[in-house]
Amino acid sequence: MIEYDPCSEAVFDDPYPFYAQLRAEAPIFRHPRYRPWFLSRFDDVLAALLDVKSFTVTEGTTSMELLFHPDPDGGEETYFDRSDLPMEIGAVATLDPPVHTRVRAALSPPFKPAAAERLEPFAREIVRGCIARARERGGLDAVADFAGHLSVRVACRVLGVPLDDADFYVRCINTLFERDAGTPGVTPRGRDASMELHVYLIQRIQEWRAKGTRLGGLADAILYGDFEGRRLNDLEASFHLSMVLIGGTETLPKAASAAIYRLWQHPEQRARVAADPSLAPQAFHEALRYDMPTQMLGRVATREVEFHGQTVEPGEAVMFLWASANRDERAFERADAFDVGRGLPRILSFGQGTHMCLGMHIARMEGRVLLEELLAAFPEYDVVEADAVRLRSEFFRGFGSLPLRVA
């Protein structure tokens, strides 16, 4: 019997035994409580990601949009429905080609490898400030005081929006992804936080446009650029801004704190990376594979697709279990071992194909800088594991707090 339930406390505790069972016994699986099919093997997820003719993102990609039925058990809605919003051009993650191709091209310049390289001095300065404060206090939280502090400020710099708003963005985004035990999906306070974020962004967008303010970053393209022959309306612009803020604020702190935690668990590997900083990219890459923060993203089928003898019908949703695919023993030797010597194998943490993560070069730079600077300053840091807090969510997995002692 398949026991996987993405919103169960047991899966929140440790999803990997459930993923292993899915891969072995039911590589395509459907739970009666939820809307979509689940794919758990690396090759299946990769094939679906690359098949833009059989799958669409226009109905959403996240668990908030695709996992839950519109009105489960007659209760309150636990899903997020964008269909009634006045948006023809949603965030790039919810666009199919050819519109996606044109919109992505308009947004991509600040995310190219050379742009990430230009951001590195800014990122390193922020990280060194975090290190200096940690030295004074004798410790830091690897999420709030370190990786999270960096990631939101880099996202603001990419957009060109004021850094003064960084902590507000973090609060709204973190609240959006909080979950309550026993209640699946977005919480009421999460919905309120999402509304608060978009209302605030729309107010700022209206102010900037009224004054003709140029912010000097990606926000200028979002506010004033040509998208399919017109400017984005205020709501569309807010969704594009929030896409960058959420993407930059949520995933990187979880991946970086996972790397910090796993290196602490494996002191011999930590010593290797500290002695040879050129291994920092591999350590971050392995953390992305081993502890993929985003548990699932999905698509909706546009035509019949078959996996392992099961036909997915048009209109049916399919969730790709990224974290399971990254631990697939068919794709990786010793898949359940953390090994910075693994190199840089192909993983799914940034997606593949048309919707490959725009910010992946920036994320890799940030992860590398965080590990380089932490290990240069505190090569024998200690994790206060008793005080660590893990997030409990069907969508994200990782640390909400990871206190470190440093000397």
pLDDT tens, 272-283?
A: 999 999 999 999
User: Residue 76's pLDDT is what?
Assistant: 43
Interval 287-308 mean pLDDT: 97
Residue 270 scores a pLDDT above 60: yes
User: Residue 199's pLDDT is what?
Assistant: 95
Contacts for 31 with CB less than 8 Å, ≥ 6 apart: 4, 5, 6, 38
Query: What is the number of helices (H) and of strands (E) in the chain?
Result: 15, 12
The answer to the question of residue 240 being in a domain is: yes
Angstrom CA distances, 50 to 43, 56, 327, 403, stand at 11, 11, 20, 39
The answer to the question of residue 77 being in a domain is: no
The answer to the question of residue 276 being in a domain is: yes
pLDDT tier at 79, thresholds 50, 70, 90: very low
Residue 73 scores a pLDDT above 60: no
The answer to the question of residue 79 being in a domain is: no
Where is average pLDDT lowest: 179-193, 243-257, 287-301?
179-193
User: Residue 306's pLDDT is what?
Assistant: 97
The answer to the question of residue 334 being in a domain is: yes
Annotate 213-246 with b (16+ C-beta within 10 A) or e (fewer).
bebebbbebbbbbebeeeebebbbbbbbbbbbbb
Residue 324 scores a pLDDT above 90: yes
The answer to the question of residue 34 being in a domain is: yes
User: Residue 74's pLDDT is what?
Assistant: 43
Q: Which two tokens stand for residue 86?
A: 């006045």
Residue 191 scores a pLDDT above 70: yes
Residue 192 scores a pLDDT above 70: yes
The answer to the question of residue 75 being in a domain is: no
Q: Which two tokens stand for residue 259?
A: 């790397």
pLDDT top residue among 331 and 65: 331
- CA-closest candidate to residue 227, choices 95, 82, 110, 361: 95
Residue 136 scores a pLDDT above 50: yes
Contact between residue 394 and residue 294 where contact means Cβ atoms under 8 Å apart: no
Q: Please give the residue range of the domain that contains residue 309.
A: 9-70+85-405
Residue 356 scores a pLDDT above 70: yes
Interval 9-31 mean pLDDT: 97
Residue 146 scores a pLDDT above 90: yes
Query: Tell me: the pLDDT tens digits for 103-127?
Result: 999 999 999 999 999 999 999 999 9
DSSP β-bridge partners for residue 299:
318
The answer to the question of residue 126 being in a domain is: yes
pLDDT tier at 94, thresholds 50, 70, 90: confident
Interval 202-215 mean pLDDT: 95
Q: What is the CATH number of the domain that holds 321?
A: 1.10.630.10
Domain count, the chain: 1
User: Residue 71's pLDDT is what?
Assistant: 56
For the chain, percent of residues with pLDDT exceeding 70: 95
